[in-house]
Amino acid sequence: MTAHAGNIPAEAAFRRARWPAERLFYTGFTLALITAVVLGFSRTFFLRHWYPDWARAHGPPETFFYIHGAIFTAWLLLLLAQTSLVATGRVHIHRRLGWLGATLAVAMVVAGVVASLMAARRPGGFINVPVPGLQFLTVPLSVIVLFALFVGLAIATRRRSQYHKRFMLLATLALAEAGIARWPFGFMHTPTPVPGISGIELCLDLFLVPLIIWDLTTRGRLHRVTLWGGLVILVSQPLRYLISGTGWWLAFAGWAVSLLPA
In a domain, residue 51? The reply is yes
Whether residue 1 lies inside any domain: the answer is no
pTM for the full predicted model: 0.88
The neighbour count for residue 204, using CB atoms within 10 Å, is 23
Q: Number of folded domains in the chain?
A: 1
Judged against a pLDDT cut of 70, whether residue 5 lies above it is answered with: no
- Does residue 82 lie within any of the structural domains? yes
12 part of a folded domain = no
Domain that holds residue 37: 19-258
Residues 6+ apart with CB under 8 A from 188: 180, 181, 199, 200, 203
The predicted structure's pLDDT at residue 89: 76
**Does residue 11 belong to any structural domain of this protein?**
no
Is residue 3 assigned to a domain? Answer: no
In a domain, 6, yes or no: no
Q: In this structure, is residue 9 part of a structural domain?
A: no
Q: Could you tell me the pLDDT band of residue 82, with boundaries at 50, 70 and 90?
A: confident
Determine which of 38-52, 65-79, 88-102, 231-245 has the lowest per-residue pLDDT on average. Answer: 88-102
pLDDT confidence of residue 83: 84
User: What 3-state DSSP class applies to 55?
Assistant: helix
